[in-house]
């Protein structure tokens, strides 16, 4: 049995864990050297500086998910088309031979298509597989809030389809770079009442393009304090996101992400009568551990 160095290498940051053969986390690390900070050809050196000590432990191998497998990443691992489960993804894991003797491989992302428009994820598929392991669920709706949120429908252990919502990026743009930024405090802590007011407002049928302006005028007329406006805007956006999902079909939603985000989705989904359960980084490690079984045949060749 070998130890696994599990890495989720994203656009703006990365996280790694050294896993015991059983899947238990021995040690965790995180770093700001997301793929956009790595110069061309610089991945082996960055990897060595971050995880070289772990790689020199006896009998270890490494599996990397996330944007490291994108065109701008270390090695491009072409997307697996949905429906895809652990088997399809596991079979497409790509060995990296940039570091001689090191057993490093990259997990491909998933693609889907809706009426001719593609959709993509990289890294979230691993979290979904991990969440299936941890919850025992092989059917359901899995939601991964972030900059680009993923809503995935899982059927019989495979991701049947998914959609991306740019909710996190819209929040950053509006709260920091739009006219709304002048009158709201993007870093204010969550105000649950203002957040839920935004969630409810999002259902009024007038659309985000109109409702967002309310976060400006409520401030102009002194009708909502500065500290609450960011929560209200966040509620408008997440409410808009929920508005376009088939929630009645969901029953229960599995949320995977940071507590700051999953807390908000839990509140909004609960208000819509949808139960949730929540997972964090443990889903990534469980997913990479589950996929490591596919490594033997793919990367242990001389």
List residues near its own copies by CB under 8 A.
114-120, 148, 163-167, 169-170, 173-174, 177-179, 201, 204-210, 212-214, 217-218, 220-221, 223, 237, 240-241, 243-244
Closest CA to 285 of 3, 9, 2, 19: 19
Q: Residue 221: helix, strand or coil by DSSP?
A: coil
Q: How far apart are CA 8 and CA 66, in angstroms?
A: 5
Q: How far apart are CA 274 and CA 222, in angstroms?
A: 34
Smaller CB separation from its own copies, 20 or 210: 210
Neighbours of 257 (CB within 10 A): 24
Distance of closest approach, residue 50 Cβ to its own copies, in angstroms:
25
Smaller CB separation from its own copies, 13 or 164: 164
Smaller CB separation from its own copies, 104 or 274: 274
Smaller CB separation from its own copies, 25 or 120: 120
Distance of closest approach, residue 67 Cβ to its own copies, in angstroms:
12
**Cα Rg of the chain, angstroms:** 20
List residues bridging with 140 in a β-sheet: 154
Distance of closest approach, residue 204 Cβ to its own copies, in angstroms:
7
Distance of closest approach, residue 53 Cβ to its own copies, in angstroms:
34
Smaller CB separation from its own copies, 20 or 114: 114
Closest CA to 120 of 150, 88, 90: 150
Q: Residue 70: helix, strand or coil by DSSP?
A: coil
Distance of closest approach, residue 160 Cβ to its own copies, in angstroms:
16
Smaller CB separation from its own copies, 240 or 294: 240
Write 147-153 long-range contacts (CB < 8 A, 24+). 147/172, 149/241, 150/121, 150/124, 151/245, 152/121, 152/124, 152/128
Distance of closest approach, residue 72 Cβ to its own copies, in angstroms:
10
């Amino acid at each position: 049995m070998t130890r696994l160095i599990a890495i989720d290498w994203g656009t703006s940051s990365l996280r790694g864990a050294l896993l015991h053969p059983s899947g238990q986390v021995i040690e965790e690390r995180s770093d700001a050297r997301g793929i956009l900070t790595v110069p061309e050809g610089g991945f082996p050196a960055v990897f060595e500086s971050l995880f070289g000590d772990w790689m020199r432990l006896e009998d270890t191998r490494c599996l990397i998910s996330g944007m490291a497998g994108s065109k701008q990443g270390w090695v491009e691992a072409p997307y697996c088309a949905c429906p895809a489960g652990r088997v399809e993804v596991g079979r497409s894991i790509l060995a990296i031979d940039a570091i001689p003797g090191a057993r490093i491989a990259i997990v491909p992302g998933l693609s889907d298509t809706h009426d001719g428009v593609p959709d993509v994820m990289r890294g979230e598929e691993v979290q979904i597989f991990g969440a299936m392991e941890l919850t025992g669920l092989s059917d359901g709706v899995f939601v991964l809030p972030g900059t680009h949120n993923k809503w995935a429908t899982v059927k019989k252990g495979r991701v049947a389809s998914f959609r991306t919502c740019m909710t996190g990026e819209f929040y950053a743009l509006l709260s920091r770079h739009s006219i709304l930024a002048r009158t709201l405090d993007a870093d204010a802590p969550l105000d649950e009442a203002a957040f839920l007011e935004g969630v409810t407002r999002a259902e009024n049928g007038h659309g985000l393009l109109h409702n967002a302006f309310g976060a400006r005028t409520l401030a102009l007329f002194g009708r909502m304090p500065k500290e609450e406006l960011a929560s209200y805007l966040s509620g408008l956006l997440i409410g808009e996101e929920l508005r376009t999902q088939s929630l009645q079909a969901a029953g229960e939603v599995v949320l995977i992400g940071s507590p700051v985000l999953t807390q908000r989705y839990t509140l909004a989904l609960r208000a819509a009568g949808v139960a949730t359960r929540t997972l964090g980084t443990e889903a990534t490690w469980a997913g990479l551990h589950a996929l490591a079984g596919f490594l033997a045949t793919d990367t242990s060749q001389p």
